[in-house]
Amino acid sequence: MIRSCTSYNNLVTLRGNSTRQSPNAKNKVLVCRNMSMTSRDSFNWANSETETASKFSISVTPNFILPVERRPNLKQVSKTGIPVIDMGKPESATLVDEIARASEEYGLFRITNHGIPQQLCDSMLSALVDLFHLPPQTKSLLVSDDQTKDVRISNHYRKVEDDKDNQKGKRFSMWSEVFKHPWHPTDDTFALLLPSDPPQYRNIVLQYSKEMGVLMSRLLNLMSQGLGLEGDYLKKVLGDKPLCRAQGNFYPPCSNPELTLGLGVHTDRDALTVIVPTPNVAGLQIIKDDKWVAVDPVPNTLIVNLGDQLQILSNGKYKSVVHRVVTNEFHHRASLAMFYGPDKDALIGPIENLIDQQHPPIYKHYYFREFLEEYRRQEGKNRKIKEAFQI
């Protein structure tokens, strides 16, 4: 069960790094209710009349407070320019080079003129936000921490991994809720699994998925060429039945972003991720040259993020970027990440043409379902899955 916070006595007020019992617990109830879920009592952002810092006050509940060594240290985040690539220009060596360079150096880039109508991106994001604002009774039907369910709202968490202060195994939650579901670029049957509320969600995600399929094929083609391979190489290796998952993320305003994370430090498990985020609200950060760098929002762009499978297939040439999402004191942020992963039966490993004496294979070959098993084994940890397949 996802940790419930219906016991309001658990509320604490945070001042810097210290905690004390709230003198005004009643006013904090909304915060507590909003940030806790059980299968019957889901988050309820809709009840918050305004999203101001005062409304969300200076309270978070104890299990959202990260252990000191996991806090984001926001003063140490730089703003070096993440690449913005114009996909509107005709297919050319320059475009292939730009994408290859960004994939090698950053593992993440933004794209403009990507072909998905801006209005559709906006509608997609607003349908997602509507879903997170559904009345609690409706939303609670979707809440579940059952990992085998394909469609569900849940709350990511991590466990304390060391023995310090007898805390080993204790869970701490991310300051967000996530809505996961399958998607597919051509087979519409996944829509039958989706909730009928909000009413427009199914339709919009169907349209968005078709456009996303085209965009991802194009990106994979350009990335293949960037590795010196035939354009259709990567898509073929990933297989005929790619694992297509979507994850909608909702990060409410948080009174103390120094103590929380919207999503913990991770790399994406699949091959390719394309994200549409709320414009004008920062949150996503990546590691570049061992330093955290903010991926500041640029209107009308999508974010392309390379996942573990592309790092492994390219034998480490392309990077699966390490990233996290920090919270914002004043504004909510939402994002929809569309993941494209291999067929479960696809054989993944460094591509033969990329291996020579100077570039020996770094990873073993495996069936993608074995990678998924390892992913599940590392649930709650700061996952190191690629490492398990390293030679």
Ligand X SMILES: O=C(O)CCC(=O)C(=O)O
> Given the rule CB under 5 A, which residues bind Fe ion?
268
Nearer of residues 98 and 270 to Fe ion, judged by Cβ: 270
Min CB(248)–ligand X separation in Å: 8
Q: Near ligand X by CB under 6 A, which window of 7-15, 217-225, 275-283, 365-373?
A: 275-283
The answer to the question of residue 154 lying near ligand X (CB under 6 A) is no
Q: Pick from ligand X, Fe ion, none: which does 131 bind, CB < 5 to 8 A by kind? A: none
Q: From CA 78, how far away is CA 161, in angstroms rounded?
A: 28
| Residue ranges in 187-216 that form contacts with ligand X under rule CB under 6 A | none
Q: Near ligand X by CB under 6 A, which window of 32-40, 74-82, 190-198, 277-285?
A: 277-285
Tokens of 369: 């379902």
- Interface with ligand X: number of residues (CB under 6 A): 12
Min CB(133)–ligand X separation in Å: 18
Nearer of residues 250 and 368 to ligand X, judged by Cβ: 250
The answer to the question of residue 275 lying near ligand X (CB under 6 A) is yes
259 CB neighbour count, 10 Å cutoff: 21
Q: Pick from Fe ion, ligand X, none: which does 154 bind, CB < 5 to 8 A by kind? A: none
Nearer of residues 284 and 313 to Fe ion, judged by Cβ: 284
What sign has the CA pseudo-torsion 68, 170, 146, 241?
A: positive
| Residue ranges in 282-311 that form contacts with ligand X under rule CB under 6 A | 283-284
Q: Pick from Fe ion, ligand X, none: which does 308 bind, CB < 5 to 8 A by kind? A: none
CB 127 within 8 A of CB 200: yes
Nearer of residues 95 and 125 to Fe ion, judged by Cβ: 125
Nearer of residues 33 and 156 to Fe ion, judged by Cβ: 156
Residue among 139, 172, 169, 165 nearest 61 (CA): 172
Query: Would you report the helix, strand and coil content of the chain in percent, each value rounded to 5?
Result: 30, 20, 45
Min CB(278)–Fe ion separation in Å: 16
CB 128 within 8 A of CB 248: yes
Residue linked to tokens 């810092």: 53
Nearer of residues 41 and 268 to Fe ion, judged by Cβ: 268
Min CB(61)–ligand X separation in Å: 22
User: b/e map of 239-255 (b: 16 or more CB within 10 Å)?
Assistant: beebbbbbbbbbbbbbb
CB 152 within 8 A of CB 180: yes
Angle, nearest 10°, between helix axes 93-105 and 201-226? Answer: 100
Min CB(257)–Fe ion separation in Å: 18
Q: How far is CA 51 from CA 43, 211, 382, in A?
A: 15, 33, 31
| Residue ranges in 317-346 that form contacts with ligand X under rule CB under 6 A | 323, 325, 335, 337
The answer to the question of residue 221 lying near ligand X (CB under 6 A) is no
The answer to the question of residue 249 lying near ligand X (CB under 6 A) is yes
Q: Pick from ligand X, Fe ion, none: which does 98 bind, CB < 5 to 8 A by kind? A: none
Residue among 179, 175, 169 nearest 36 (CA): 175
Phi then psi for residue 13, to 5 deg, are -105, 135
The answer to the question of residue 260 lying near ligand X (CB under 6 A) is no
Q: What DSSP string runs through 56-101?
A: HTTEE-GGGSPPGGGS--GGGEE-----EEETTSPS-HHHHHHHHH
Min CB(265)–Fe ion separation in Å: 10
CB 29 within 8 A of CB 89: no
Min CB(175)–Fe ion separation in Å: 15
Nearer of residues 268 and 308 to Fe ion, judged by Cβ: 268
Helices and strands of the chain, counted as H and E runs: 10, 20
Residue nearest to Fe ion (CB): 268
Residue among 110, 132, 121 nearest 276 (CA): 121
Min CB(266)–ligand X separation in Å: 7
Q: Which residues bind ligand X (CB under 6 A)?
A: 247, 249, 263, 268, 275, 277, 283-284, 323, 325, 335, 337
